[in-house]
Amino acid sequence: MKKVLAIASLLALVVLSSAKLNTVNISQYMKISKRVETIGDTIVRSSTDSMLSIVPDTLLGTIDEYGNRRTNDSIFIGSLGFSLTKIPKARELYQGAQPIFGKWAKLFVIMKIEESGADGQNSYYARKYNNLCGMRCVKVRQTTSHKCGKYNYAMYPSWYDAMVDWKIYLDIIHRKFRKKYSRDAKDEFEVVDFLYGYYNSFPKWKRDLYWLLRNYKL
């Protein structure tokens, strides 16, 4: 009987490994997050609107290329948990963007605000397409968009996919900038200047981004 149980346990482990599933139990999760409290078997994060109440079953998922754990309706970035069905507010989005964008996290959030609105004012494309930055469908680069919508606007499975897509796009912009100037962009304003003219050609767009970069607190 013991041998049978041992074999069954081994097979279960193999199945989990082949499916690339990763779990974190409550005690492990408590070690990596200081802003949690427990109620019975449930972890409750004392944070803002889009943060999650986390039960053990939600800590099962796949790890993406940025090391973030993803389930059907949640994304865990470091020690922060977000719902994939609700666009985070700007400051939460900034927290989630930092591990992915590094020093360019504020530029991403400011771009989102300019293109699809600030807290509680998300545009039609943000709400219906999860398109945070006004991205169009593309065929010549890697993208996380899964289909095209009206006026060739990209549609995404979630706001997180839109964020990752903008990271892919920004990496391309950095390579183009480096090729043209033989150096990296020194700040967000240089990137905005580089984008102006083909990402958006309206002077107001550039003025808005400059103002937001200087004045919007995250």
End-to-end CA distance of the chain: 59
- Whether this prediction's pTM lies above 0.85 is answered by no
Residues 143 and 174 occupy one common structural domain? yes
* Residues in Cβ contact with 138 at an 8 Å cutoff, skipping those fewer than 6 apart: 145, 154
Q: According to the model, what pLDDT value does residue 20 have?
A: 34
Q: According to the model, what pLDDT value does residue 1 have?
A: 52
Q: How far apart are CA 175 and CA 186, in angstroms?
A: 13
Domain boundary among 36, 68, 83: 83
Asked, for residue 2, whether it belongs to a domain, the answer is no
- Confirm if 97 and 105 have CB atoms less than 8 A apart: yes
Residues 108 and 34 occupy one common structural domain? no
Residues 116 and 189 occupy one common structural domain? yes
DSSP secondary structure letter of residue 38: E
Domain total in the chain? 2
Sign for the CA dihedral angle at 121, 124, 126, 130 comes to positive
Q: According to the model, what pLDDT value does residue 206 have?
A: 98
**CATH code: domain of residue 165:** 1.10.530.10
Asked, for residue 3, whether it belongs to a domain, the answer is no
Mean pLDDT of 80-96: 96
Strand ranges for the chain from DSSP E: 22-23, 36-39, 42-45, 53-54, 60-63, 69-70, 74-77, 80-83, 147-148, 154-155
Q: How far apart are CA 55 and CA 38, in angstroms?
A: 10
Domain boundary among 68, 83, 98: 83
- Closest Cα to residue 134, out of 146, 145, 143, 126? 126
Asked, for residue 5, whether it belongs to a domain, the answer is no
Residues 62 and 105 occupy one common structural domain? no
Lowest mean pLDDT among 7-11, 85-89, 120-124, 134-138: 7-11
Q: According to the model, what pLDDT value does residue 178 have?
A: 98
- Confirm if 110 and 126 have CB atoms less than 8 A apart: no
What is the span of the domain harbouring residue 169?
90-215
| pLDDT, tens digit, 9 for 90 and up, residues 41-82 | 333 333 344 544 444 444 568 999 999 999 999 999 988 999
| pLDDT, tens digit, 9 for 90 and up, residues 127-144 | 999 999 999 999 999 999
- Closest Cα to residue 28, out of 54, 52, 1, 67? 54
Domain boundary among 63, 83, 103: 83
Residues 106 and 142 occupy one common structural domain? yes
Residues 76 and 99 occupy one common structural domain? no
Mean pLDDT of 106-132: 96
